[in-house]
Amino acid sequence: MNDNYLWDRTGEPDADVQQLEELLGTLRYQPRPLEIPATINTGRRRTFIPLAIAAAIALLVIGAGLWIRFANSNQRPLEQAIRGPQSVAPQETAPAPKELTANSSTSHEPREISPEGRNVKRSLISLKPHRPIQASVPPLTKEELAQKEQVLIALRLVSAKLNLVQRKSQGLTPVNSIRNHKIG
């Protein structure tokens, strides 16, 4: 068998291949015009550009809406932060004595308010008025100590009498109550 003739019709012709060519050649495609309908659509979407423009506008509108909403939500705490020091001002106008407040020199100084929300919140926290911490009682004089002692003894006597009345009203013997009660 001549391979070249079967491949590209070159070289010595092969008898069987030639016979098949002649025989099957009768079934060859007979040209016939293609009937193209007048209304055929090649599928190229001309509406692509308007659609793209519409989509871009829609995205812009959504983006602008989100941005405005974000801006408003950020502005509210900022306004509060700005208003905050004014509302707590009366408390600050009457400063506590230095010895009764802790961190009084630093905590009440308003920090610089930055436009970022996180910093604004921090400044809000720092602007909250702190409760003054009670300091220890100053040392008393001898007279004051003696008066204090008397007040305490009087309070104990009153307390003992009140207990006695209570026991009586409950039906207990006053002896026991006196025995159990410690004075002084």
Partner 1 sequence: MSDETTFKGVSMIEAEATAEMLLMTGTFRSPETIDEPIEQTIVRAVLQGEHDRFGRLYEMYAPLVHGVLLARVPRDEVDDLLQDIFLHAMRKLHTLRNPTAFGPWIAMIARNRAMDFHRASRDMVEVEENTAVAKPTNRTAHEVLDFIRQLPEAYRETLVLRFVEGMTGPEIAVRTGLTPASVRVNLHRGMKLLRGKMGVV
CB of 49 to partner 1, least distance (A): 15
The answer to whether 171 contacts partner 1 (rule: CB under 8 A) is no
Structure tokens at 94: 């009457």
Return the number of the residue (52 or 82) whose C-beta is nearest partner 1.
52
Near partner 1 by CB under 8 A: residue from 25, 138, 171, 184:
25
Return the number of the residue (31 or 171) whose C-beta is nearest partner 1.
31
CB of 33 to partner 1, least distance (A): 8
Near partner 1 by CB under 8 A: residue from 20, 54, 59, 153:
20
Q: Return the DSSP state at 99.
A: G
Half-sphere exposure for 167 (CA within 13 Å, toward CB)? 16
CB of 10 to partner 1, least distance (A): 9
Q: Return the DSSP state at 134.
A: P
Contact indicator for 124, 80 with CB cutoff of 8 Å: yes
How many C-beta neighbours within 10 Å does residue 53 have? 10
The answer to whether 137 contacts partner 1 (rule: CB under 8 A) is no
Half-sphere exposure for 72 (CA within 13 Å, toward CB)? 5
40 to 79, contacts with partner 1 by CB under 8 A? Answer: 40-45
Contact indicator for 13, 5 with CB cutoff of 8 Å: yes
Residues near partner 1 (CB under 8 A): 1, 3, 6-9, 16-17, 19-21, 23-29, 31-37, 40-45
